[in-house]
A = this chain, B = another copy of it.
């Protein structure tokens, strides 16, 4: 699975640059997060805001490789995929592309742990896993 089925196109904002005149590193994580949330929505892993959602995805680990600095003005494309499954977790991959530079500017990965309403790690529901597999295989999101 390495197709990046979810893709967002996001404008770089001037104010995202820091004193080095590059987009500050924190904004890459925001972009990855936006792609992750779009992926969750596509597979029905509801980002419920109730006090006790049935399933709550939690970020356990994140990695980011910065390939090239991004500067304003630019538009970036951020893509997300699910790379592998654990019992109570799964691994997502991200890719960030700059339109102005026409190149890959960052890659990332994160481990998502799934908690139940009590906050305990819980096995991935088979229907959620099936929807992820279908999305990765190219099925349109349900």
Cβ of A59 under 8 Å from chain B = yes
In the assembled complex, the Cα of A11 lies from the Cα of B77 at a distance in Å of 13
Choose among A18, A50, A65, A69 the residue with the greatest number of B CB atoms under 10 Å from its CB. A18
Cβ of A122 under 8 Å from chain B = no
Cβ of A137 under 8 Å from chain B = no
| Nearest CB of B to A80, in Å | 13
In the assembled complex, the Cα of A91 lies from the Cα of B8 at a distance in Å of 32
| Nearest CB of B to A86, in Å | 15
Hey, which chain B residues are within 8 Å of A65, CB to CB? 60-61
Q: When A13-B30, A34-B14, A37-B14 are in contact, do A59 and B19 touch as well, CB less than 8 Å?
A: no
Choose among A24, A27, A34, A63 the residue with the greatest number of B CB atoms under 10 Å from its CB. A24
Cβ of A26 under 8 Å from chain B = yes
Task: Give 8 closest A-B pairs by Cβ, nearest first.
Answer: A14-B37, A17-B19, A26-B26, A13-B34, A26-B29, A62-B64, A63-B63, A19-B21
Query: Residues on A close to B: CB < 8 A?
Result: 8, 10-11, 13-15, 17-21, 24-27, 29-30, 33-34, 37, 41, 47, 49-51, 56, 58-66, 69, 72-73
